[in-house]
Structure 1
């Protein structure tokens, strides 16, 4: 992240080090990971942050830098823990509901996909110095990382809310491993959690685990599992609100950190606006998106719940995306019906 900020400011490593009044080797160590930035004192980090702001760094990138330290702390925790140690109550994944910026940063070394918060900030040319194009872990570190996550997911205390949070989030982050073994493990875990739910139409912590699992499997190519989840586990009003609340939190419309998954049913949906969620979902409504069906369903639920979020431009964009996906006819029959209902709702709004 520090390298991204430096390159956005147009500095070479030598120039940047001079402006920060540090040795070039120190900067190179920070950027390459040989010297963890999180190891410096809080005062030194705040001084660095203020300097970056003074140089003209974008506030959104500074926010990403802050979150990158949190991601580094998490990765460091996992790598220093025993691969098969019992799930601990103080595990980072049991302490808060992780967000999209955090998850994108954690996934970066494994998927090589730049975080969404860095859109337009990555430079593809002009690099100088021994700096990789993305964070990287050694093969044995990657193996240890995913082995640990699988172990804590399996060993989490299913009788505790924080245990189920740990189970869900370890299960989800483990899905960034693209090996066949992990795909098989994810499928087996999903079946186990589906059996744990006493009744599929009611919200429980297991519901949240199954929701995340269905998304993970969809990313790996199993779209039918996600369609099954929508049909059987989003047919209840409470679960529908839970799904919307989670999307709003994931995308930053709910700013307050949440400590466990029960916020999905405890939070009133009128505490967030929905504009950012609507725009995000419209941008993700395309047939090749592995999450296309849940995007269509969530759009339908959001439009039905809060039609006031549809300003004229957004309504036009929604109509265009919805019409295109309907013409391509690659989503499930339920998604097609829900998209048709959106078109009808747009017509009624326009008439009104």
Structure 2
């Protein structure tokens, strides 16, 4: 597949939502046979949905709602059904990319130029490439008498993978840097392209990061390019280049406007900001007191460990959050944070700046406890 399927075929994609459906069915303790019986359909229909051969996106809205209601009655958790809805969105995106031209993508109706994607969506899109179960589905699977070898994640064929990442690289490189939606496409295509495990991916990411550094000359301002640099630094850290992320923290998070942008983005990424955003400008337009911060704090505390490739930005964001919103600290979370910060300092693997920030956190916790 070198030219895509042809535009208009998005509804033919169903691998991600199909695999999500399989996990949700298994979480309710249902075999395919039992589920087919309760749905009053042939077992081949269930198999077709779960394999993606009969995409859920292609069934009617009424049929899909009946499927969701049946799963809820049969014991599926509502939070998992929300993941199924998002999996359909992920399939629509994958279908769009596979249907589009690989090396000359149009930005006019590109999904990555229309909304700021979230962690649940990104986890689902990355699933076929990383084989990592999305956070919203992790821990939900229960074995139900499987026979023979079973796939552990949805997958794309080699030519589909090549087309997918070629398209995203072209979208990154050709996005209109003079438009807000063009820069949103540039940032998000850049980030998703970072899930390619090809040998040349780290070099491509580094080249794009250097180009964005040249575009963003002033470190004391927030611009859409700042957001691209932030995502690029995270992608490079995933490949083991922690210096890129440390450099971003040192040079691009020194001013209050950028600090607030980082916090607002984290809150949106993790769902504390529930309203969908259409442009990265929300990072500087949103009042940071519009979200609580408790979920963000708990997430960051859970990610504060030395082997996390993003540990430096986790430490810095924790420091900024505690300084800005100490009210988010309940006694239990404060104790967990103190232990995680102390352990990370003892392991002596983070940057000098992260060490100072973790020490400041421990000191602040001590003062709060005394008060």
Give me the TM-score of the superposition, normalised by structure 2: 0.93
Return the offset for 1:129: 8.3
| Contact 1:248/1:254 (8 A) holds in 2 | yes
Inter-partner Cα distance in structure 1 for 2:131 and 2:141: 12
Of the candidates 307, 327, 330, which is equivalent to residue 308 of structure 1? 327
> Where in structure 1 are there 5+ consecutive unaligned residues?
none
**Which residue is 1:189 aligned to?**
208
Q: CA deviation at 1:76?
A: 0.4
Equivalent residue number for residue 24 of structure 1: 43
Please report how far the alpha carbon of residue 180 of structure 1 lies from its aligned counterpart in structure 2 after TM superposition.
1.7
Question: What is the aligned partner in structure 2 of residue 70 from structure 1?
Answer: 89
Q: Per-residue displacement from partner, 1:67-88 (whole Å, max 9, x unpaired)?
A: 0000000000000111012332
Match of 1:325 in 2: 344
**Which of 77, 91, 97 does residue 58 from structure 1 map onto?**
77
Separation in structure 2 between the aligned mates of residue 316 and residue 279 of structure 1, nearest angstrom: 11
Distance 2:201 2:149 in 1: 32
Gaps in structure 2 of 5+ consecutive residues: 1-19
CA contact (8 A) 2:105 2:167 kept: no
Q: Secondary structure of 1:295's partner? A: helix
Shift of 1:198: 2.7
> For 2:269, which of 237, 241, 250 is the aligned residue?
250
Q: The residue matched to 1:180 in structure 2 has which SS?
A: coil
The answer on 1:162 being equivalent to 2:181 is: yes
More deviation, 333-342/113-122: 113-122
Q: Please tell me the root mean square deviation across aligned C-alpha atoms, in Å.
A: 1.1
2:163 is aligned with 1:144: yes
Q: CA deviation at 1:128?
A: 5.0
- Which residue matches 1:286? 305
Identify the residue that residue 104 of structure 1 maps to in structure 2.
123
Matched residues in 2 for 1:295 and 1:127: separation?
40
Distance 2:163 2:148 in 1: 29
Deviations 1:146-167 (A, max 9, x none): 0000011111000000000000
1:186–1:156 Cα change, 3 Å? same
Structure-2 change in CA distance of 1:340 and 1:90 (3 Å): same
Deviation string 1:252-283 (CA, Å, 9 cap, x unpaired) is: 00000000100000000000000000000000
Deviation per CA, 1:295-344: give whole Å up to 9, x if none: 00000000000001111111100000000001111000000000000011
- What secondary structure sits across from 1:277 in the alignment? helix
Q: Deviations over 1:147-193 (max 9, x none)?
A: 00001111100000000000000000000001121211111001001
1:259 aligns with 2:278: yes
2:194–2:205 Cα contact (<8 Å) kept: yes
The answer to whether residue 205 in structure 2 is matched with residue 174 in structure 1 is no
Query: Aligned to 1:117, what secondary structure does the other structure show?
Result: coil
Q: Say whether 1:201 aligns with 2:220.
A: yes
Per-residue deviation, 1:119: 2.3
Change (3 A) 1:124 1:57: closer
Write out aligned runs for 1:109-148 (5 A).
109-123=128-142, 126-128=145-147, 132-148=151-167
Q: Which runs of 4+ in 1 moved over 2 A?
A: 122-133
Change (3 A) 1:129 1:77: farther
Query: What residue number does 1:342 align with?
Result: 361
